[in-house]
Amino acid sequence: MVPIIIALCLLVPAAVLLIWIRIKKRDGGARRIATVLIVFISCLATASMLYLVMFISTNKLMEEAREYMAGNIIYIEERRGSPLARYGMEGGFGTTSVEYSITRMLVLHNFSEGNIWIEYTQVGYNDDGEITQGSWRVPARWKIQRIDGEWEVLEIFEGP
């Protein structure tokens, strides 16, 4: 998805510039329409790039959530207060293996604080391959804040 957005952000302004060069030779009405179109597409490309930066800046936070879900982070003292710790199954109910997926649906922040909307599925299995616990397609909103240059989850809101 990210490479497609980058390609569009680079190719669309180039295509508009080529169209502008061709229309520049035409009458005033076509020139005005082309100007409005160029301004609109430039604004759209700028907004896309801004969103891409907002999206990418939270990659480390998503990786931390994946580590909790996979069971790779199990109660580290310095992360004790992290709301993301709720995603660690940590062997409860005889769970020995975990399958999970997490999808970032939307990211909105002002580079200081904001929200991430996700959807996740997490299923725990015992040694016999039976499901011991799980959550399927759960929507959640994370309230995030940048603390000492790193994004941190302050609160997690889940529900339909």
Residues 45 and 64 in one domain: no
pTM of the model: 0.72
Residue 4 is predicted with a pLDDT of: 61
Range of the domain at 63: 59-158
Torsion, Cα of 155, 72, 129, 101 (10° steps): 50
Residues 7 and 32 in one domain: yes
Task: Give ∠ CA 100-106-110 in degrees, rounded to 5.
Answer: 125
Residues 73 and 103 in one domain: yes
Side chain identity, residue 30:
A
Residues 50 and 63 in one domain: no
| CATH code assigned at 129 | 3.10.450.50
Residues 66 and 42 in one domain: no
- Per-residue pLDDT of 53-65, as tens digits, reads 888 889 999 998 8
> Which ranges of the chain have pLDDT less than 50?
1, 77
Residues 29 and 84 in one domain: no
Residues 66 and 43 in one domain: no
Domain count of the fold of the chain: 2
Residue 28 is predicted with a pLDDT of: 64
